Chains A and B, each alone.
Chain A
Amino acid sequence: MLIRDLARIAMGGLTVNIGRSMLTILGIVIGVASIILIVSVGNGAQRLILSQFEGIGSRVLVIQPGRQPQGPSDFFEFFTDSLKERDVKALTVRGSVPGIVDVAPVVAGNFSVVWRDESKRATTFGATDIFADILDVSTASGEFFTNEDVRQRTSVVVLGYKLNQDIFGDSDAIGQVVKIKNVNFRVGGVLPKKGNVGLLNVDDVAILPYTAAQEYLTGTDYFQEILIRVENEDVMPRVEEDVKNLLRMNHNITDPAKDDFHVMTPADVASRVSTVTGILTAFLTAVAAISLIVGGIGIMNIMLVSVSERTGEIGLRKAIGATNNDILKQFLLEAVILTASGGVIGMILGNTFSYVLSLALSYFLDVSWKFVLPLQAMAVGIFVSTIVGVVFGIYPARRASRLDPVEALRYE
């Protein structure tokens, strides 16, 4: 039998009962649509995160307390108090590590910023004057605090865009005095709208000299992070090694396995985040794939019903010369056309949802979420739905092909 005729016969079998055919493929449509949606949104999220890390710049090293985290159990390593003033001093000494441009210790905390009746919880960063450069922001109004402020422990604070909006609304915040942990801080500057840099939403933060943060807020003498800016990307690996050696010397560590700190680049963080979103995407895709199997079982059921309904037709076709193979191919092709068209429809729906979602996220969450056309997932979706048709179509098709023509003709 000619392929074209076979296709026409199979299509004919499906279009005679178009309503049922559409309902039959619903499972496949939903399965493929969810896979496309998940992969597309996953890719979008990954791309967003990576783009935010690009904002930090590729010339920054991050030193964090505790050994290199190997898994969730190392979470508490972050609370180690191993990074102290002397480390900053050692790194700052000119020539101690060639290639270092700036050293910026960070004291992180979470406190309420209070002005009159307004109170707003904020991530507070005790930092130095170069913190603004590393975040790549300059104040929208007022001024960032200076190195002198850091040395003097001046109680001055710079507010993120949204934090300022929440507390002061439209009134001018510069020069106003806010209370943080009952200590008065003068608002020295307000940052422009910036959004995320890395995983940090700059619009929500309050930044103050780290010396003041240690003295008035945390009461600690260690840092959650030390940021290091280097001359250029080429020296990064060497600087990283030198910094490690210097800190080991400072901490009297001889065995690198016993490090009480670790050094990361933004690329490391980004790749770690990518890994997590990748695993999540894969897991969700696997869950969605189960619905494809369920959809396939649905197709098999309907095909079995169809075979028994069309027993008379099968008998006739055999009587006038269709071989068992012709019948097998006809019903198998019907199943494959069903699942493959389900795959195509699911693909269109999934991409449409994903596109609408990307618009909605960009609009409501105010992030530059880009719609990603998941070409690989689309290819896999079409391939898998076709395979589902073959796998779940073969049993009904074999049954049809093996019908006894005499029995089949007698069927009414």
Chain B
Amino acid sequence: MAKAIVNMEHVHFRYGHRKALDDIQFQIKEGDFIGLVGPNGGGKTTLIKLILGIEKPTSGSIEIFGQPIEKFKQKNVIGYVSQKANSFNKGFPATVYEVVAMGLTAKLGIMKRLTRQDKMKIKETVAKVGMLDYLYDNIGDLSGGQQQRIFIARALVSDPQLLILDEPTVGVDAENVEKFFDLLHELNQQGISLLLVTHDIGTMTHHAQQVVCLNKTLHFHGNPNTFSSLSKEQLSEYYGHPLNLVTHQH
């Protein structure tokens, strides 16, 4: 059986008096490709923040590779591509190489410089996301889809075993979204587990192996086909409001 990378047991989380997550039982195992859907304010981003250790649960336990999260120090095993990766200062003078090198900051620690292997690794990772021709271009000169690839490279360069992506296709055009998912499948086949947060239920059910629907509690965790065959009423109940599904023809 595949080993659990993340294991959440009875996790609750509150922002002040507002309940954000209620009794979450959730696992991410090696090789998973999980799509996380749910309404705005349903706690998707909070769940990610808990896994990344940015927030601490109000109660319950979170284990990363079998260790309590507080004791888990190897920050580089979980890569993260945030929603905000798209809203950085576009005029920032940083080359693709420099941006990807940032991904090694935590692994290296203070004072350590990049070694020759690190530099090779940066180039390999940029090649992996198909952007080697742009290595010394300023990141702000690239298109939205290209920038997103660079941010994935930044998350990948420290060899993570789990990659978390928060709304990664916002601002990326349809054609590039397809290419983007091809890249994700490739990474998944190389053994990297994926947790992908998105609004786009249609695309998600088409690509992910499992779908998780979160609205304060976990409403659904299972096969994407089962999820797409749910009735509109059922989905609206999960979302807490009537739902107009965007369906994609593939």
**Chain A complexes with chain B:** no
B residues whose Cβ falls under 8 Å from a Cβ of A: none
> A residues engaging B (CB < 8 A)?
none
